[in-house]
Amino acid sequence: MKKIIRLSLSSLIAGLFSFCIISCGNSSKNEDITIGISKIVSHPALDAVEKGIQDELKNQGFTKAKFDLQNANGEISTAASIAQKFKADNVKIAVGIATPTAQALVNTLKNSTVIYSAVTDPVDAGLVKSLKKGEKNIAGVSDMTPVKDQIKFLLKMKQIKRLGHIYASHEANAVSLAKMAKKACQELGIEFVESTVTNSSEVKQAALSIADRIDAFYLSTDNTVISAISAVSDVAKKKNLPIMSADPSSAEKFEVLAAWGFDYYKMGRATGKLIADILKGKKAEDFPTIFMTDPSDVDLLINLDVAKRLGIKIPSDLLKKAGKIVENGKLIKK
249-273 pLDDT per residue, tens: 889 999 999 999 999 999 999 999 9
Number of domain units in the chain = 2
Regarding beta strands 324-327 and 298-303, do their DSSP bridges make them parallel or antiparallel, or are they unpaired? parallel
CATH number for 119: 3.40.50.2300
User: Does 172 lie in the same domain as 306?
Assistant: yes
Q: With respect to residue 5, please indicate whether it lies within any of the assigned structural domains.
A: no
Q: What is the mean pLDDT of residues 23-38?
A: 68
Could you tell me if residue 258 is left (phi over 0), alpha (psi between -120 and 50 degrees) or otherwise beta?
beta
The Cα-based distances of 196 to 171, 239, 297, 318 in angstroms read: 11, 20, 30, 31
Q: Where are the beta strands (DSSP E) in 188-291?
A: 191-197, 216-219, 243-245, 258-262, 290-291
Q: pLDDT tens digit string along 172-228?
A: 889 999 999 999 999 999 999 999 999 999 999 999 999 999 999 999 999 999 999
* 103 and 249 together in one domain: no
Quick one: 70 and 90 in the same domain?
Answer: yes
Q: Which domain holds residue 175?
A: 147-261+299-333
Whether 28 and 280 have beta carbons less than 8 Å apart is answered as yes
In a domain, 9, yes or no: no
Res 332 pLDDT > 60: yes
Over residues 93-120, the pLDDT tens digits come to 999 999 999 999 999 999 899 999 999 9
Q: What is the pLDDT of residue 208?
A: 98
